[in-house]
């Protein structure tokens, strides 16, 4: 990552882009409309096959704070984000997914809070935008009512509850110097759950990470929680098998640095992903009307529990 210069912006906003023609301009303009104007925007096009790159270049022609990087081949979100991180010059770095947007005061609020509290990272609640009904329909973390200093144990513990939005959805703003000093970046082989992986490693490296209850990041999930309609903008494809492998790798790599309680929580998380991966495979086999679906359910009792919970949620709706 480049070093800070005298004329470096306060915040670098990295926007990875892949086939985002329907939403890219909205996201970019939400950054340009920030009350904190001392910023740069780094648009990293991950070899889009639509006209996202030309849209990005057109926006860059309107404002010198925008830079566009075109990757020669598609590498996935982690590759695109890391390229943006390597180009960032700001004191702080924020990631904005192309199908999301910022509320106008987000960067000013978070960087001021982080500076006052001596944070290496800071994140806020997420406003959940339902594309199907074109409205914000709630927040991701309604239980977050006051600032919270997040520990590695709490990161792991929180996500074990099936009724809570995972902290892996958080969109931190990082102090760039912390990422540089600790040589931290996204795991480029990961295309799913890569956010959690980096959060885990940041906390393991001693990051002071606080959450604030304001919802300044407008997040678009794959399916609207109210409309039940799939978003035509989200590029995320769940892959619990990949997440399972990534979490197993974290345990193998860092077990010696974890406390017994942290290791136990990570093992519980791995068991949870084993169940989710098995349930996903069960549904795939069931759609194919394969007799192997029953074998899968028999081998993993959690498959039936997840099926009953899914039916209960559908009944409630």
pLDDT digits (tens, 9 = 90+) for 66-116: 999 999 999 999 999 999 999 999 999 999 999 999 999 999 999 999 999
Nearest to 250 by CA among 309, 197, 302: 197
Residue 213 predicted with pLDDT over 90: yes
Q: What is the pLDDT of residue 223?
A: 85
Least confident of 130-134, 142-146, 193-197, 282-286: 282-286
Residue 77, both tokens: 């979100």
Q: Does residue 7 carry a pLDDT above 90? A: no
The CATH T-level fold of domain 11-219 is: Spore Coat Polysaccharide Biosynthesis Protein SpsA; Chain A (3.90.550)
* pLDDT exceeds cutoff 90 at 136: yes
Look at residue 237 in the predicted model and tell me its pLDDT: 66
Residues 220-246 have a mean pLDDT of: 80
- Asked if 95 and 42 touch (Cβ cutoff 8 Å), the reply is no
Q: Higher confidence at residue 13 or residue 244?
A: 13
Which pLDDT value is given to residue 230?
80
Q: Band of the pLDDT at 162, cuts 50, 70, 90?
A: confident
Average pLDDT over all residues of the chain: 89
Confidence of residue 254 (pLDDT cuts 50, 70, 90): very high
- What is the pLDDT averaged over residues 142-164? 93
Contact 113, 210 (CB under 8 A): yes
**What separation in angstroms does the CA of 304 have from each of 26, 107, 280?**
42, 44, 12
Residues with Cβ within 8 Å of 67's Cβ and at least 6 positions away in sequence, in order, are 40, 41, 42, 43, 60, 87
Residue spans of the domains in the chain: they are: 11-219, 250-316
316 CB contacts (<8 Å, ≥6 apart)? none
The first and second tokens of residue 293, run together, are 């679906």
Does 227 score more than 60 pLDDT? yes
Q: In angstroms, what CA-CA distances link 172 with 14, 73, 95, 100, 279?
A: 12, 27, 7, 14, 30
Which pLDDT value is given to residue 4?
45
2 falls in which pLDDT band (50, 70, 90)? very low
Q: What is the mean pLDDT of residues 18-31?
A: 96
292-301 pLDDT, tens per residue? Answer: 656 556 666 6
Looking at residue 231, its pLDDT comes to 73
Residue 316 has what pLDDT?
Answer: 57
Contact 194, 245 (CB under 8 A): no
pLDDT grade, residue 3 (50/70/90)?
A: very low
Whether the pLDDT of residue 271 is over 60: the answer is yes
Share of the chain above pLDDT 90, in %: 72
Structure tokens belonging to residue 55 = 């849209």
Instruction: Report the percent of the chain where pLDDT is more than 70.
Output: 84
Average pLDDT over residues 33-54: 98
């Amino acid at each position: 990552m480049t070093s800070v210069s005298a004329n470096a912006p306060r915040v670098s906003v990295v926007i990875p882009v892949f086939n985002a023609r329907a939403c890219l301009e909205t996201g970019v303009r939400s950054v340009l409309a920030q009350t904190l104007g001392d910023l740069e925007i780094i648009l990293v096009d991950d070899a889009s096959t639509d006209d996202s790159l030309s849209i990005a270049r057109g926006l860059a022609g309107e404002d010198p704070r925008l830079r566009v990087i075109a990757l020669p081949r598609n590498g996935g979100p982690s590759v695109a984000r890391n390229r943006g991180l390597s180009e960032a010059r700001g004191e702080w770095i924020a990631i904005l997914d192309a199908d999301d947007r910022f509320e106008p005061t987000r960067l000013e609020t978070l960087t001021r809070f982080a500076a006052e509290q001596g944070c290496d990272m800071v994140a806020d609640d997420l406003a959940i935008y339902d594309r199907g009904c074109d409205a914000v329909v709630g927040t991701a973390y309604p239980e977050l009512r006051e600032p919270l200093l997040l520990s590695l144990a709490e990161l792991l513990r929180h996500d074990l509850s099936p009724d809570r939005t995972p902290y892996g959805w958080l969109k931190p703003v990082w102090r760039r110097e912390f990422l540089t000093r600790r040589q931290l970046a996204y795991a480029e082989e990961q295309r799913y759950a890569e956010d959690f992986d980096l959060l885990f490693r940041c906390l393991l490296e001693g990051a002071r990470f606080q959450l604030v209850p304001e919802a300044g990041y407008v997040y678009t999930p794959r399916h609207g929680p109210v409309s039940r309609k799939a978003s035509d903008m989200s590029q995320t494809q769940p892959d619990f098998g990949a997440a399972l492998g990534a979490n197993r790798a974290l345990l193998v790599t860092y077990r010696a640095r974890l406390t017994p309680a942290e290791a136990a929580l990570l093992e519980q998380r791995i068991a949870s992903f084993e169940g989710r991966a098995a349930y996903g495979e069960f549904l795939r086999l069931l759609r194919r009307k394969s007799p192997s679906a029953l074998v899968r359910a028999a081998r993993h009792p959690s498959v039936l529990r997840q099926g009953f919970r899914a039916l209960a949620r559908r009944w409630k709706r």
